[in-house]
Amino acid sequence: MDRTLMMLFRYINTLILLCVSTVAYSQVTLSETQVSDRPQDSAIITFYALGDWGTGYIKQEPVAIALERNVARIPQNKKTIPFVIGLGDNIYESGLPYHKTSDQLIYAWNDPEVFNAFENTFGQVYQRVTYQNAPIVFHVVPGNHDHDGNSQKKDKKYGDILLQESKGENLYPDWWKYYPIDHSLTKATDTNDFGEYVHLRTYADEHGLYKLTLPQKLDLPNQNVMMAVALDTQMLLEMYEEDEDETLEQHWAQLEKILTTHKNVPWKMIVGHHPIASWGIHGGAQGGLKGAFRYGIGIMQDLKDGDYKKFRKRLATVMKKHNVHLYLSGHDHNIQLIDLGQHELELLNLDAGYFQLVSGSAGKLSSVDKDHKAVAIYDKQHGFVRLDANKETCWIEFLSYDPNTGDDRSLGIWTLTKGAKRETQ
């Protein structure tokens, strides 16, 4: 047999093998339940998702008190300490001060404005959120406001996310962890000191922020039950807008590499600021002439924008390929749970059983267009979301607070349950 025929034979044989090979997957079903039905098993992982908190102490306080009281009622025998995932817009309206020249970095590091911004939006607000008398860890990603709306602004004066990472972990070493920052590209290790900040800024000034903000796995406990990957979604949107195709592919490749490495973890989650589905203001809920003008011209921060649509489609493709059934985000200032397989979201090309969780009302509040289909929506009061998970089930509870007592108040609870693994030919 000559070489050409041999290669053709191998090619046909490969196609046949691909056609008859089996693919294992696990379906996820959703159902409403009662808080009393959620087990108190010590092995269950408990964590919270809240975003868009960075308004300042007074506006954030009711949610922080409700969070504190909910954590206080968690049984004290947990094998895994509860934690929080922060979904961006940590410091309104423009993030931290940005000083351009290297000789100004020491001033930035010691700037009282920086310290006060952290204390007013984080330190004073969440210091009482403890478990077994120890602070719980907040795993934090940036939002568009942390970048001051656009990281590439000329004459930029605010939006230093590298300072937010380094100084935040310096001020609160036991309870602030910031993602995604790739320290391996710089000469600095993650030492959370001024030297680390200088190395990060030096690299960013020479090479740009895009390469520093590749997707990163959250350093969560007990990853045999769940794992999460952090995205800097503002960076992704900017790269789409600026046609940074090569660097974009590096970001998506890194995300897929992490998910592939952890393919056997029962619950895989992706965490970012910008949702891929929302019926809030950013998703088209603003009416009247103002809404018509806003959505007509298209802005980067809205889901109908052309570059934003590219981001949404690509992330949905990754979710489907890697069996990621839950994407956590903020951005719209309400709480929503949306099944991504519904017909209104054909753009995403997902089946039922993939979900968008928006939790962006920890410091601000905005309305939702309820004419659209969603599992659950809450936009009447500030709030947050609690999630509990074992290998088979994830409980998702919407929470707000009682304005008279300050106690946390349940708004509803749902379960995501993994079905038995199937094989298809």
* Domain spans, the chain: 28-424
Q: How confident is the model over 365-404, as pLDDT tens digits?
A: 999 998 888 999 999 999 999 999 999 999 999 999 999 9
Flag whether pLDDT at 57 surpasses 90.
Answer: no
Q: Which residue, among 302, 359, 371, 303, has the nearest Cα to 334 in the 3D structure?
A: 359
Give the per-residue pLDDT at 421: 54
Report the alpha-carbon distance of residue 206 to residue 209 in Å, rounded: 9
Mean pLDDT for the chain overall:
90
Give the separation between CA 194 and CA 311, rounded to whole angstroms.
34
Query: Rounded distance, CA 117 to CA 145, Å?
Result: 13
CATH class of this structure's domain 28-424: alpha beta
Q: Which helix (H) or strand (E) holds 84?
A: strand 83-86
357: tokens are 């969780």
At 154-176, the pLDDT tens digits run 788 999 999 999 999 999 999 99
For 235-286, the pLDDT digits (tens) are: 999 999 999 999 999 999 999 999 999 999 999 999 999 999 999 999 988 8
Contact present, 388 and 45 (Cβ < 8 Å) = yes
pLDDT for 14 beyond 70 = no
Summarised one tens digit per residue, pLDDT across range 100-109 is 887 899 999 9
Residues 58-81 have pLDDT tens digits of: 889 999 999 999 999 999 989 999
Per residue in 280-325, pLDDT (tens digit) is: 999 988 877 777 778 888 899 999 999 999 999 999 999 999 999 9
Residue 44 has pLDDT above 50, yes or no: yes
- pLDDT given at position 26: 63
